[in-house]
Structures are given as C-alpha cells and as structure tokens.
Amino acid sequence: MSLLEAIIIGIIQGATEFLPISSDGHLVLVPTVFGLTPPDLVLIGLVHAGTLLAILSYFWRDLIAIARDVLAGLAQRQPLATPNARLGYFMVLGSIPAGIVGLLALDFFEAQFGSPTVAAAGLLVTAAFLVIGERLKSGTKSLDRLTWLDALIIGSFQVLALLPGISRSGTTIAAGLGRGLDRPTAARFSFLVGLPAIAGAGLLSIIDIFSAQGSLPMGHYAAAFVAAAVVGYGCIAFLLNWLKRHTLYPFAIYCAVAGLLYLLLA
C-alpha cells in the first residue's frame, strides 16, 4: 500500500464515520471499486482511533459538563437532577442494545464485511432511513426534553449499523427526527449516543494494533491517523452546520446512487 492509499483510507474513515453515508460501507466498497490495497488490521485500528480523537476533540466541553454533573448527582444522591446528568445516562442507555447484539452475533456481523454486495445493499437501506426520517420530522424537541424512551429507541437503531453500508449516524439521526428532535439536535445526540460505541471500537482497534504485525512504514500509519482525525473533526462541524438550514435528502440521494451503481455494475 502506498502513502497516498493510506491517506485515502484515513480520509474515507474520517468523512464517512460522521456523515450519514456509512464508514464501513465505504471501507468495503472503495478499495473494491478502485482497486486499492486492502488496509491491514493496524491501519484500520489507527483510523478508528483517529475518528475517536475527532469526536472527543469536538465535544470535549460537552463531555466535561456531562461528567461533572453525573458525578455531582451521584454525590448528592440525585443522579438525574440536571439535563447534562440525564444526558450522560441516556448515552449509556442508548448504547446497550447495539453492545448486546454485537457481542452475541459478532461472528455473523464480521462475516458480512467480506461482501461488497451487502455493503451496497446497506447503502440503499441508509438512503431509505434518511428519507423516512425527513418525512417523519415533526418537532423541535431539545436535548433537555429528551426522555429515556427517546434515548433507548434512537440508540437501538445502532444495531442496524453493525451491518456494512448502514450508517450509524444516518439511522440514529432519522430515529431522532422521528422522536421529535430537530435536525441539529438529532445529529448532536447521534454523535453523543454513538460515542461509547466509537470509543469501544477505537479501544479494541488500539488493542489490535499491539497484537498485530503492521506491514506498512510508520509514516503511512501516522498519515492515515492524522487524516482520519482532521477530516472527522471537519465533518462533524460541517454536518451540524449543514443541518441547521438543509435536509438529509442529498445524503440519501448519494447513498441510493452509490448503492445502485455498484449493484448494477458489479
């Protein structure tokens, strides 16, 4: 794998982890379509760690406020006293369904990543979710009005994103719109509720780094990591700003066209 290919893998991971177009789907399809060298385990681990750094960097103020209120609530024996404390528990609650299903069916989901056809079909599913989410958009609920049922329902949609091509951010944003959140709020909660899953994947990937034998020069790995972190940070900012004034339809069109083209031309 060349340095350019490693950087491309980092860019793909950084952009598609947060834009509602499926990072795993693109990591499966892009190397297949363009004949790129498949990334090794170390490279995959590093680009996942890069997107983890991106989301921690972007939301560090929110995360500190959430952690502070959670700890204060525990000390005062009023764990749900503030919106930030409730949000912290909702982030954990929303992560439980995908965590359980992922552990119970790990082999099944890992097997799907060898199939570009599954990834292309997953993009069509993502497109459908984005369109349905826009059609269901009906309210302007803020995060401080979020309920435990909202968090559980939105977080449960992360189960679908265990399949390649189905976007975690896309399905959870669509679910948030269906629960009455406006677009920017749905996207913000999508990133926050996905943080435990992203952190878990990132930490597991970091563990894999130390147990795997890298086949590339260190410069390739470093470049891919930086590309994933920088592009990921930019895409978080871009999407949150985009959704203040625009719909999810362009992302739905992109996913539909990309999925259909692959299925027709494969």
Average pLDDT estimate for 143-160: 91
pLDDT at 226: 95
Which is more confidently placed, 93 or 27? Answer: 93
Reported pTM: 0.88
**pLDDT of res. 208:** 64
DSSP E strands: which ranges in the chain? Answer: none
pLDDT of residue 190 exceeding 80: yes
pLDDT score recorded for residue 125? 95
Q: Which residue has the higher pLDDT, 25 or 230?
A: 230
pLDDT at site 111: 74
As a whole number of angstroms, the distance between CA 126 and CA 170 comes to: 6
| Residue predicted with more confidence, 33 or 133 | 133
pLDDT of residue 49: 87
Structure tokens at 256: 């539909």
Q: Is the pLDDT of residue 174 over 90?
A: yes
Lowest mean pLDDT among 33-42, 54-63, 251-260: 33-42
DSSP 82: S
Q: Check residue 115 and give its pLDDT.
A: 80
Task: From residue 216, give the alpha-carbon distance in Å to each of 30, 37, 67.
Answer: 20, 12, 38
pLDDT at residue number 152: 94
pLDDT (0 to 100) of residue 62: 93
**Distance set, CA 109 to CA 50, 106, 163, 195, 208 (Å):** 23, 5, 6, 20, 18
Examine the pLDDT at 177 and tell me if it is beyond 90: yes
Dihedrals phi, psi of 68, to nearest 5 degrees: -60, -45
pLDDT digits (tens, 9 = 90+) for 195-211: 887 787 667 666 766 66
- Residue bearing the bigger pLDDT, 31 or 232: 232
pLDDT of res. 45: 78
- DSSP letter at 196 equals H
SS3 189: helix
- The pLDDT tens digits of the residues spanning 205-248 come to 667 666 666 677 778 888 999 999 999 999 999 999 999 999 99
